[in-house]
Structure 1
Amino acid sequence: MTTLVAPGTPAALAQLLCGARELGERVDPALLGALARDGSYAVQDATLARIGPVGGWKVGAGGPGQEPTCAPLPAAGLLPHGVALQGSGWRLRGIEVEVAFVLGASLPPRDKPYTHHDIEAALAHVVPAIEIVESRLEDWLGAGRDAQLADLLSHGALVMGRPRVFTRDWLHLGALEATLRFGRRTVAHTIGGHQSPDIGALLVWLANHCAARGVGLKAGQVVTTGTCTGLLLASAGSRVSGAIEGLGTVTVRF
């Protein structure tokens, strides 16, 4: 039985985006209207209510001192090292090498704000990751930030390498060395390439944002923290590998 939803509501917009996700199609951003930031987050919640559960979060900021944004990650899109991704859903194939973290303890909603100390105590592992950037929107780059935010910040999947035990030095990536290869060709090599390297500040913001949102971060969830190598587009048939100095490698095939 088809569930009827009121046009223009977060549930209706989520229905559009989920339909595009299932069929490998694209949505005209104009159909999302002029979403404000809170409206975009409401569309995210309605989307995960359809395709959940939540397996983790992505968080990032355009630079130090800028307000972060975030999106929940569907658990079904958390994938192992070496996975092959094929089909109509992988058309953009945007690639970002990232540092992700696994929570060992939950950070539920509470009145008292979370601090750096709380974050450090809650983190269990750090993981090399490749985020696959995919959009359900036509004119992806011109769609506008709030439309992209509603579309889970253009998240397609998160491919994860071998986890390592968390240590607090991973909360600042100012000197991090990262490499991205398409096949045998190095397409990006950066040192200190993260736009917002104070990862501790990003995670504190995320914990408090999720608490205010009424969901909280949960033990076992993965949090990925933004690209260290920029965004590059892979071709169909590519073998993509990312390496983070001191952490490890991760690969994905298309």
Structure 2
Amino acid sequence: MTAGKAGKVLWPLAVGVAFLAVWQLGGIHALLHFKPFQLPVPLTILETVIDNLPKMLSDTWITASGALTGMIIGSLLGFLVAVIATMFPKWGYPGLTLVSLFNAIPIVALSPIMNRWFDDGFGQKVGVVTVVCMATMAINSYRGLNDLRPFTLDLMDSYAAPGSAKFFKLRLPNSLPSIFTALKINIANGLIAAMISEYFASSTAGLGFSIKDNLRKAMMAKGWSCIVMAALVGMLLYSVLTLVERRAVKWHASQNK
């Protein structure tokens, strides 16, 4: 590992450790005038996670499985909309505009509606995440499929390349960086949407429900432990996606930094 690459890892790690140390020693409490019960220190949160690990893992799996399912379905639908809008702009572009409007729908308004549509909390959760992730993928994929280098499409036309060759050899590879960008955004949006949907679901499991339930009971350490588990899931998924991206688009300029 070169010095530059090592610095990219060590500097964020050092900042993170320093932040946790300041938090543990009460620096944040003094700055924001918080009481210890309002904001538990990291070691207290860690102890709570260890003491309640089976329940934490169960809630994490329930939330993560719903978020991943909705993210996959929403991303596939969003990409399909982008492809249709690219190949058939006369009919597809209005659909892309309609899907883009989904970004304006508040999750807190969408979740109670989905709760009436589905019989269980999992279906509601998947539905909310699907709607949230579909718009992001559609917008980014459409941009990647159509923002081509100058004259590349003209060059393929000059060789009488069929439409399938233009799509698979030019448009699809060009869209991969935008697709991975959308997936990274959807990891965060999907987890947030899944946890918010659990606030309104009839089920009594999942990180979102546990946060609401524990904070309502003033069990702040347990509530924060659920937040930590959600953050760990998000970082794990983001890291895995980053590794896949480096393999898939290693030719792109963003991977040469």
**TM-score normalized by structure 1?**
0.21
Question: Which structure has greater strand proportion?
Answer: 1
TM-score by length of 2: 0.21
